[in-house]
Amino acid sequence: MRIDESSEQTGTQSFNDGYSINPGSELGTAGFLEPQLAIATNPLETTLSQSELDLRTQEAVTEGQSLSPIEASLRRLGRDKRAMVCLAVIIFMVVASYVFPIFYLHMGPNIQGGIFGNASVPPELYHYMQHQELLNLDAPSSLAHPLGTDQLGRDILARLMAGVNVSIQVALFVEIFDVVLGLIIGVLAGFFGGWIDTFLARFTDLMFAFPTLLFAILAAATLGPAFVDALGPQGRLILVSIAIGITVWPQMARFVRGQTLQLKEQQFIEAARMSGSSNQRIMMQHIVPNLFSIVVAAATLDIVGTITAEAAISLLGLGVEPPGSSLGLMINDAAQRINISLWEILWPTITLSILVLAISFLGDGVNDAFNPRTKD
């Protein structure tokens, strides 16, 4: 008996009886695959299967492959329902405080007011935040005054909108200091290192020694009258904004410095150096754009502290001066009358709480969305 050596080498036995075996054709002839083929040839099922396949293919593609980091972060932020609700609340409050007063001055009936109570006062006058109706003090909610009046007969809703304006303006002014100084000092310290990093780091530590709130109170108490004489009633508010802005940037600078230390070791920075790019061009075109995520997240969270600090300073009587309006000033004016008219302190407190909580939750959402370690 002769054994085929090729079969021993391959581990199988050669078999050839003159017939060609095709497993697929043989099973198909026997009818084993006919039910499956019948299902697959259904046009409706084929369309559904293809749609599901396309959907799964799209889901399998990660954001890093199809979207830029900024687009991916914005997409994650858009899926955060809590952050989107808070963003809608903030936009509503800001837009309402700037746009609604234009219409509010023309809403409402004429009322009997004036010194003797026999003059016809139009809404253009009594809805102005500084107007006083001395015969309509501590009035409850009505058609003319939806949220009532304070102890001087001023419309509470009009003063609330003016107070939100002050909070937003101070926050934006302070964030300009925060972002500009934090970026400049943080990028220079992290990119160059050496004695520049040492000097700027020690200068940043020195600025950390000044508590923001105490420094702003000291500045307002000592330099406030001079700023009021030079710039008018808003002078003290400008001084408070500058004082907060000077002391708030060190934290931003530390964030930026740490991120710059990581970025300058990346390969694309080395490639930019090899191509002959100057240090200034590398910082402006490669370092700063990649700091967008951390700057946005940190700035959003810093706004909360800024609004709270301004309200606290105004609460102490060192911020906005009467007859101006601020949420902190309104709380201060109504604090001694809480047993007489609760709504006078209730409305500014609720407004300030909603604004701070909304910005806080939005800041958390921005931080999570722009965090490079965040994955879907």
Of 342, 253, 263, 266, nearest to 299 by C-alpha is 253
What is the pLDDT, as a whole number, of residue 56? Answer: 53
**What residue numbers bound the domain in which 227 lies?**
71-84+156-370
Q: Is residue 122 part of a domain?
A: no
CA 221 to chain centre: 32
Q: Is residue 237 part of a domain?
A: yes
What is the pLDDT, as a whole number, of residue 77? Answer: 87
Is residue 291 a contact partner of residue 183, using CB atoms and an 8 Å limit?
Answer: yes
Q: Is residue 278 part of a domain?
A: yes
CATH of the domain at 262: 1.10.3720.10
Total number of residues shown for the chain = 376
Q: Is residue 104 part of a domain?
A: no
What is the pLDDT, as a whole number, of residue 276? Answer: 86
Look at the chain and report how many structural domains it folds into: 1
Query: pTM for the whole thing?
Result: 0.75
Quote the CA–CA distance of 356 and 260 in Å, as a whole number. Answer: 30
Q: Is residue 150 part of a domain?
A: no
Q: How far apart are the first and last CA of the chain?
A: 67
What is the pLDDT, as a whole number, of residue 175? Answer: 92
What is the pLDDT, as a whole number, of residue 233? Answer: 77
Of 162, 214, 168, nearest to 318 by C-alpha is 214
What is the pLDDT, as a whole number, of residue 356? Answer: 93
Q: Is residue 106 part of a domain?
A: no
Q: What is the mean pLDDT of each run of 10 residues along the chain (376 residues)?
A: 44 44 43 42 47 50 58 85 94 92 91 82 91 88 91 92 92 92 92 90 86 88 88 85 90 91 88 88 89 87 90 87 88 86 91 94 87 58
Q: Is residue 19 part of a domain?
A: no
Q: Is residue 5 part of a domain?
A: no
